[in-house]
Amino acid sequence: MDATATAPFLRHFRDLTDPRRHNVRHVFTDILTLAILAVICTADDWDDVVIWAKARHDWLKTFLALPNGIPSPDTFARVFARLDPDAFERCFIAWTSDLAKALGGGGDGGGGGNDVVAIDGKTLRRSFGHAWDRQTIHLVSAWAADHQLVLGQLAVADKSNEITAIPKLLDLLSINGATTVTIDAMGCQREIAGKIRRR
């Protein structure tokens, strides 16, 4: 494997701006690649990302630059805190849509030929920032069941906001070719059903 191995992945993130201005010790695309690979492999936080990456340093070095080794947890935290979340989301959804196609999805992406796409909201486990405010993150996700792949997701203020988030999520996705789209009772609105059929 060499640096060309990451090219199909990185082309989806080429328009994502590196938020750092100075004291840059690590390659931006290395940071993105490490974070996404580690999270796919069940890393829960930046410490987990670093532990995962250090354990695979020799392999990672075959296709990443890593001029100063594996970034610290603080480096990952600073970079991702400064990223434009909407821009990152667009890049990530473009990548997962292409990934679904590559896995044999059919259609023009997203949903795939025989896919079941499940749209549902979940509150993230351990997502509250501080014990005193107990604020949690609630997401609405589109899940390609056949490929076990998240096609896209949007954060919402709470469960009641799913109705407004679902049409926005659908605008980001290509579900053409999906044979079935499931949604819970809260999302069973004429406008949402019409948008699913049009998409």
Distant-in-sequence, close-in-space partners of 46: CB < 8 Å, separation ≥ 6: 73, 74, 76, 77
Distance CA 42, CA 63 (A): 21
Q: Is-above-0.75 flag for pTM? A: no
User: pLDDT value at position 114?
Assistant: 45
User: pLDDT value at position 123?
Assistant: 74
Angle at 17 between CA 154 and CA 140, to 5 degrees: 5
> Where exactly are the structural domains of the chain?
3-82, 105-198
Q: Which residues of the chain have pLDDT under 50?
A: 1-2, 106-114, 127, 129-133
Distance CA 89, CA 53 (A): 23
Predicted confidence (pLDDT) per residue in 111-151, tens digit? 444 478 899 888 765 545 444 445 567 788 888 888 777 88
Distant-in-sequence, close-in-space partners of 92: CB < 8 Å, separation ≥ 6: 12, 152
Which 8-state DSSP code applies to residue 47?
H
